[in-house]
Chain A
Amino acid sequence: MDMRFSPDELAFRDEVREFIANNYPQELRGARRGEMSKEDILKWHRILYKKGWVVPHWPVEYGGTGWTITQRYIWNEENARAETTPLLPFGLSMVGPVIYTFGNEEQKKRFLPGILSGDDWWCQGYSEPGSGSDLASLRTKAVREGDHYIVNGSKTWTTLAQHADWMFCLVRTDPEAKQQEGISFLLIDMKTPGITVRPIITMDGSHEVNEVFLEDVKVPAENLIGEENKGWTYAKFLLGNERSGIAGVARSKKAIERLKKLATAELVDGTPLMKTDEFSRKVAEVEIDLSALEVTELRTLAAESKGRGPGPEASILKIKGTEIQQRITELAVEAVGNYALVQAPRLEVTGNEFVPGPEGSQGVAQDYFNMRKTSIYGGSNEIQHNIIAKMVLGL
């Protein structure tokens, strides 16, 4: 048993750290994704594409780096440490692996280059108004007519669909079959007539998610992945990938650092809040939770590098990871005291851009409100508990 990195791994860490320091765009440091333009969101992606490091987790033949699981972990850790813009997962981590695993040669040739370069922006057509936790009950329907499918229905909570060129979409192709057996996996060009994207504004005032309406949308049959009515298999494969990396350990470490800064600037009777017993213990508690999660994640990685997993244990990473992320934002609200009330401008430019309060306090309450989504999305934390109960404990 050994938790330390080997000398080679440490050398690798220094190499990527230096690369990030020299290449991450200066002007993006400290920017929030919610406030960035489409091109800004893609900047880091394009730099990594040029370097050949945009998909370390893909097989080498499709553009992967051939790094070990530990190297990939170090890479993610270093990115979080430098607070780089997180790469969008929809192409790189979700549909990309589905296409190279289940797609035909034609599809690989057609879609993988745009995913790698960032020229194609993908969004995820999974959830529907009536199908959230119970995804397999989805009702968006695709009917085969000659060389095309005609798609009707609606999708919701579609992240960043406002920028998307393509959507990977779960559709029902056999309404008679058992729920999971009548679903297919279609790739839909967002420019096709009949598609409407309607923004959903969340309670923190930002526009990340959307509703997508599909009305008689004609999708060429060649955009079907794998076999008709086998879509659930591909969907589950994709969801498994969605959960890995969801622990967000390195980003939470950074968030704790920021929290400590806030709590050090805030004074209680002249003493930094961070020096008070009540508050410092709460920070210590979340830090300890995070240490435990970090080692849990490393154990999962170690098992994975020996060819086991990530199994249902990934649900632990999702539950604990999101609880910790939420707790940190909750503590940030506590830390800034009265200035938590201040609304930082998000979408609407009101002409009144005055945002008072100490450095780093702007928008902490909005971040806290926004982070409530993490225990809802990607399979709610209640569903993750069900998975562990059933698949791990055998209940």
Chain B
Amino acid sequence: MDFSFTEEQTLLRNTVQSLLSDKYDFDTRRKVAKSADGWRPEIWAQFAELGLLAAPFSEEMGGLGGGAIETMIVMEEFGRHLVIEPYVETVVIAGGFLREGGSAAQQEAHIPGIIGGETVWAFAYAEPQGRYNLADLTTTAKKDGSGYVINGYKAVVLGAPWAQKLIVTARTSGGQRDRDGVSVFIVDKSAAGVSTRDYPTVDGRRASEITFENVKVDADALIGAEGKGLPLVEKITDQAIAALSAEAIGCMKELNTATVEYCKTRKQFGVPIGKFQVLQHRMVDMFMAYEQSVSMTYMVNLKLEENDAERTKAAAGAKVQIGKAGRFVGQQAVQLHGGMGMTDELNVGHYFKRLTMIDTQFGNVDYQLKRYSEAA
């Protein structure tokens, strides 16, 4: 039993911390989120330079040979600085599909571009009618010679405005919600028939609605076996959940620190408001919610390689914990900051917004509770 980090892991954390405290202050982040591009390619290049984009890939693939814990460390620090850039979408998700399901040729073709920072990816999986069910797909891919033709619509594809490549789930056979018949494809965003409409998200990022109209892809665009993609999709989204959990604990940590600090200095009725017991207990509850979230984040990141049922329980459990804790910590951090907590100028509201959206991504508390109880 050991919950300590290795020297290399601590070094990684220090590297990320020093880059972000240098280049990712809150005012800069606010400006970037409102800029036309909405992100900073030059920061992405620095992530590449520092090896952050290489962290979870094996040395044979040109990576640093890290695993879930390394991703967790990066994401926790990203959470503390509300990093906008599409690390989860590109490194965790697209990287995950290629690593876990890609052929040698696909890995060779695409992983160097991720590691080098040249290619940004997005994950087009959700559909308007599907809510959180990964198998509920009306997007189809039909055999066409040796390749496929894709038709359909994908909703709220995060990071897509910045991406060149998409991972797309589509149905190659079976009924709309069948577990069988789900396939995973690599699609160029610039391919004929792909059209996107971009918009900002409430947490300061960007997303697209994407229409696929007779989009032709070659046979080598298929990741894994045709029609057998759902278990891989579930595994990779659980890895994304593990990464988002780490991001969430980074957000909560900052909120709790800021709230305690504020309550120590803000005086009303002649005393710091932190002297009022009702607020003290509230902050203790926030602290406990954070600690419980850290525990679940460690657990899910340590269990990502277990069998499907164990992994599902760990991921669903972590998502429920951070969903509930994120809501409580976010709401109370705003409440205890009073009017200041409501402003766009202070970072508190921005952490709260991000935590709210983390709950929404890949299934909220209700969805994951159900998933947990079905797996248990």
Contacts and interface: CB of A to CB of B under 8 A. Distances in A.
B346 to A, nearest CB: 8
Interface residues of A, number: 54
Contact of A203 (B199, B331, B343): B343
B268 A338 contact: no
Given A203-B353, A333-B356, A338-B155, A269 B136 contact: yes
A85 interface: no
Contacts of B345: 200-201
A137 interface: yes
Nearest to B346: A203
B199 A202 contact: no
Contact of B331 (A279, A342, A372): A372
B334 interface: yes
Contact of B279 (A200, A334, A373, A382): A382
Given A342-B207, A365-B356, 6 more contacts: A134-B268, A200-B345, A270-B176, A342-B199, A348-B34, A373-B339
Interface stretch (A12-20, A31-39, A243-251, A354-362): A354-362
A341 B353 contact: no
Interface in B178-215: 197-203, 207, 209
B45 to A, nearest CB: 26
B343 A354 contact: no
B155 A339 contact: yes
B26 interface: no
A365 B201 CA distance: 10
Question: Which of B268, B273, B276 has the most C-beta atoms of chain A within 10 angstroms of its own C-beta?
Answer: B268
Nearest to B269: A134
B343 A376 contact: no
B278 interface: yes
A157 B339 contact: yes
A341 B357 contact: yes
Indicate the size class of the contact surface on chain B. 35 or more
A350 B131 CA distance: 29
A121 B199 CA distance: 36
Contacts of B334: 372, 376
A156 interface: yes
B209 A343 contact: no
Interface string A339-377: 111110000101010111010000001101100110111
Contacts of A372: 331, 334-335, 341-342, 352
A372 B209 CA distance: 29
B370 interface: yes
B156 A339 contact: yes
A205 B198 CA distance: 19
A268 B131 contact: yes
Contact of B339 (A134, A355, A358, A376): A376
A200 B338 contact: no
Interface of A: 127, 130-134, 137, 156-157, 200-205, 209, 266-270, 273, 278-279, 330, 333-334, 337-343, 348, 350, 352, 354-356, 358, 365-366, 368-369, 372-373, 375-377, 380-382, 385
A269 B345 CA distance: 41
Contacts of B144: none
B202 A369 contact: yes
A342 B208 CA distance: 10
A202 B344 contact: yes
B199 A354 contact: yes
Contacts of A157: 339
A203 B360 contact: no
A380 B179 CA distance: 50
A339 B201 CA distance: 9
A133 B352 contact: no
B130 to A, nearest CB: 8
B157 to A, nearest CB: 10
Given A269-B136, A334-B366, A358-B128, A375 B356 contact: no
A132 B338 contact: yes
A339 B342 CA distance: 23
Contact of B342 (A356, A358, A373): A373
12 contacts: A132-B338, A134-B268, A137-B268, A201-B343, A266-B131, A267-B129, A279-B366, A337-B360, A340-B357, A354-B199, A376-B338, A385-B278
A385 B278 CA distance: 10
B339 A127 contact: yes
B177 interface: yes
Contacts of B349: 202-203, 369
Contact of A343 (B133, B199, B273, B341): B199
Given A342-B207, A369-B202, A205 B344 contact: yes
Interface string B256-291: 000000000001111001001011000000000000
B241 to A, nearest CB: 15
Contact of B131 (A267, A333, A366, A385): A267
B177 to A, nearest CB: 6
B197 A278 contact: no
A156 B131 contact: no
A335 to B, nearest CB: 10
A354 B197 contact: yes
B199 A338 contact: no
A127 B339 CA distance: 10
